[in-house]
Amino acid sequence: MSRVCEICGKGPSAGNKITRRGLPKYKGGIGLHTTGVTKRRFLPNIRLVRAVVDGTRRRVRTCAACLKQGRVQKV
């Protein structure tokens, strides 16, 4: 299944998962130490909805943000 919104074009983006050990200084520790950095993907919240596109009904893959903003007219 494609992870791209057909309305706004939002797709997966890349980032890092940072693993830390220790107690923060403001809690009385000596500070957080980074022990690992791993690549990860942030996936958009894609929904398959029936919508009206150019006067016809069809199933469209849209992100939840487009549904909330009203960019998609549901059947």
Q: Looking at residue 1, what is its pLDDT? A: 61
Which of helix, strand or coil describes residue 26? helix
Beta strand spans in 1-75 (E): 13-21, 33-42, 46-53, 56-63
Question: What is the Cα–Cα distance from 15 to 21, expressed in whole angstroms?
Answer: 20
**pLDDT averaged over every residue in the chain:** 95
Weakly modelled stretches of the chain, pLDDT under 50: none
Whole-prediction pTM = 0.76
Return the domain boundaries, the chain. 13-69
Query: What pLDDT score was predicted for residue 2?
Result: 83
**Whole-angstrom distance, CA of residue 32 vs CA of residue 50:** 48
Q: Residue 67 phi/psi, 5° resolution?
A: -65, -45
Sign of CA dihedral 56, 60, 62, 68: positive
